[in-house]
């Protein structure tokens, strides 16, 4: 990582310190710092999960008829990553935790069936869903009320150390592609934490830039903006520039650096470690710090690139004078004024028969937002996909509504019909297995936006829909036992199967 910079020259250290103190106070006022109770609750959840997976893997070893000494020796573990792993979680944050198991514990039979059933049997666990067809397959559930995303990686060893080094090539040999993808988040976290000069400054900077990105509407990979791993790498990159930094100087430099960045030059934490082969992908390539020339997954389009760069420039213009009298950090974190910025909006209305079906339907549609955004760009040009979710309370069916800004003065409203038709084809071509809800696209004026608040309102429900879909468990399904491939007659768990499929298996 590059070194250099330092305190803002020409100003006394006390001014830097005072500016950083006011910024830290803003973080406290915004509720960005979790309480000791929040921290302890998450620690307890992870410790319980570790005990569960150890029992699980020893049971799987017994099913495989491994010798007793190997059953005694085998082990699985849980590693936290994401915002919790980086130490920048909030009181409402979920936990990203990777389950790492040994060579004999498979994802299909052992993880998605027997571990799932073990979790469902716990009284602390609720809302267990298997998300098998995502890019990173996982089990999603709530543990003591905290949402947990649990992917799985299978290593070619008998026992996984509790503090396994996921950067050690010994543990990574001959692993399958799914395990490699599942490990990428943990590996990226570990590299970042090893590279930053000051962990506390990095965490504080990352909290600030994530708040800024959410307030200004440029956060969220699904909507074509910057996701959590993108923000973490950009923050770590800036931390590497300054050897004697304060929080305020780091935040100002963050905007200076990326307002002037010559994209598509990639952002690279470890230069020359992995030589480039070909052009980097996308409009804003950000290289993962832990793989041989691997880049963060990105959904950035022409529209969202324009919005991100405009916000970088706005941030720089606001923070370049952060040491002057009467400067206030609050201006940086103002909510983006969607209603005052656009004359026209694409309205995306999603509905379903009940709240559970709606959650699944919205999750599926959001996973295809990149396609919708591209189609809108083809017809209308620049589009700003506001990630805020609204509810029309005057309609009977459960619903979620999005309003995406369109940067045009006059619009052919009927063009949205072709966009809807094409997007419906995309939705129907996927692997969604739940009840299909409704989607209706229309174009509305800014004056038709919700009257109960501006589009930039942050009065969002804390129960934001997660992007996932699951195998439906409906009344036309039977519990069918799944037998071990290694221990005849032993039931490892049960799967939901339609009655006609279950009858066919019985013959």
Q: Return the structure tokens found at 324.
A: 């002057």
Task: Let me know if 94 is a catalytic residue.
Answer: yes
Q: Do the Cβ atoms of 55 and 118 come closer than 8 Å? A: yes
Q: At what angle do helices 13-29 and 247-259 cross, to 10 degrees?
A: 90
The candidate with the shortest Cα–Cα distance to 90, out of 24, 20, 146, 19, is 146
**Residue 120: Cβ-neighbour burial (10 angstroms; 0-12, 13-18, 19+):** middle
- 144 labelled catalytic: no
- Specify the DSSP class assigned to residue 286: B
d(CA 229, CA 41): 24
Q: Which two tokens stand for residue 447?
A: 């004056």
CA distance 99 to 111: 9
Structure tokens at 246: 């304060």
Give the Cα separation of 492 and 113 in Å (integer): 7
Catalytic residue from among 19, 20, 58, 149: 149
Bridge-based pairing of strands 125-131 and 138-143 is antiparallel
Q: Are 453 and 379 in contact (CB under 8 A)?
A: no
Q: What is the DSSP code string of 292-329? A: SS-B------HHHHHHHHHHHHHHHHHHTTTTSTT--G
Active site residue 445: no
Question: Is 126 a catalytic site residue?
Answer: no
The tokens describing 484, both together, are: 């071990």
Which listed residue (22, 48, 93, 94) is catalytic? 94
Residue 346, SS3?
A: strand
Determine whether 10 is exposed, middle or buried from the number of CB atoms within 10 Å of its CB (0-12, 13-18, 19+).
exposed
Question: Looking at 210, 307, 366, 375, which residue is catalytic?
Answer: 210
The catalytically annotated residue of 81, 84, 89, 219 is 219
Q: Are 382 and 409 in contact (CB under 8 A)?
A: no
Q: How many residues does the chain have?
A: 507
| Integer Cα distance of 126 and 123 in angstroms | 8
Do residues 211 and 32 touch, judged by C-beta distance below 8 A?
A: yes
In order of 52, 417, 427, the CA distances from 414 in angstroms are: 55, 6, 21
State yes or no: cis peptide before 264, omega within 30 of 0: yes
Catalytic pick among 83, 182, 184, 359: 83
**Tokens encoding 472:** 């439906």
Angstrom distance (rounded) from CA 460 to CA 389: 7
Q: Is 475 a catalytic residue?
A: no
* CA distance linking residue 29 with residue 265, whole number of Å: 37
223 Cβ partners below 8 Å, 6+ apart?
A: 299, 304, 369, 373, 385, 387
CA distance 215 to 450: 19
> Which active-site residues does the annotation give?
83, 94, 96, 149, 210, 219
């Amino acid at each position: 990582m590059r070194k250099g910079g330092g305190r803002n020259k020409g100003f006394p250290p006390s001014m830097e310190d005072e500016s950083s103190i006011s910024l830290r106070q803003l973080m406290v006022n915004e509720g960005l710092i979790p309480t000791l109770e929040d921290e302890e609750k998450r620690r307890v959840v992870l410790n319980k999960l570790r005990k569960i997976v150890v029992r699980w893997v020893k049971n799987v070893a017994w099913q495989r008829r491994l010798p007793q000494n190997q059953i005694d020796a085998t082990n699985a573990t849980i590693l936290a990553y994401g915002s919790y792993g980086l130490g920048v979680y909030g009181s409402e944050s979920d936990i990203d935790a990777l389950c790492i198991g040994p060579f004999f514990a498979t994802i299909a039979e052992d993880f998605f069936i027997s571990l799932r059933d073990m979790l469902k049997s716990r009284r602390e666990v609720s809302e267990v869903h298997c998300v098998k067809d995502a890019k990173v397959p996982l089990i999603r559930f709530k543990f003591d009320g905290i949402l947990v995303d649990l992917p799985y990686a299978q290593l070619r060893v008998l026992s996984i150390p509790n503090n396994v080094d996921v950067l050690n090539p010994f543990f990574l040999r001959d692993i399958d592609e799914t395990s490699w993808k599942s490990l990428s988040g943990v590996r990226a976290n570990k590299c970042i934490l090893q590279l930053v000069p000051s962990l506390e400054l990095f965490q504080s900077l990352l909290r600030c830039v994530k708040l800024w990105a959410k307030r200004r509407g440029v956060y969220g990979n699904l909507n074509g903006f910057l996701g959590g791993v993108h923000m973490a790498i950009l923050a770590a990159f800036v931390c590497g520039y300054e050897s004697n930094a304060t929080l305020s100087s780091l935040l100002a430099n963050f905007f200076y650096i990326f307002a002037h960045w010559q994209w598509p030059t990639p952002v690279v934490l470890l230069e020359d470690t992995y030589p480039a082969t070909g052009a980097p992908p996308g409009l804003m390539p950000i290289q993962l710090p832990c793989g041989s020339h691997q880049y963060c997954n990105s959904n950035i389009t022409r529209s969202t690139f324009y919005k991100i760069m405009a916000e970088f420039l706005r941030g720089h213009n606001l923070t370049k004078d952060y040491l002057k009298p009467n400067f206030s950090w609050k201006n940086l974190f103002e909510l983006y004024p969607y209603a005052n910025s656009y004359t026209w909006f694409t309205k995306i209305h999603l509905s379903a028969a009940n709240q559970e079906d709606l959650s699944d339907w919205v999750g599926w549609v959001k996973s295809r937002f990149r396609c919708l955004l591209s189609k809108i760009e083809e017809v209308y040009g620049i589009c700003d996909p506001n990630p805020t979710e609204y509810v029309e309370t005057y309609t009977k069916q459960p619903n979620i509504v999005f309003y995406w800004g369109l940067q045009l003065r006059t619009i052919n409203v009927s063009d949205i019909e072709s966009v809807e038709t094409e997007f419906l084809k995309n939705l129907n071509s996927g692997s969604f297995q739940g009840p299909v809800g409704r989607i209706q696209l229309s174009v509305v004026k800014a004056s038709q936006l919700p009257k109960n608040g501006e589009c930039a309102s942050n009065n969002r429900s804390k129960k934001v829909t997660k992007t996932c879909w699951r195998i439906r468990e409906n009344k036309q399904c039977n519990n069918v036992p799944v037998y071990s491939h290694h221990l005849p007659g032993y039931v490892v768990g049960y799967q939901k199967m339609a009655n006609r499929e279950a009858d066919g298996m019985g013959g």
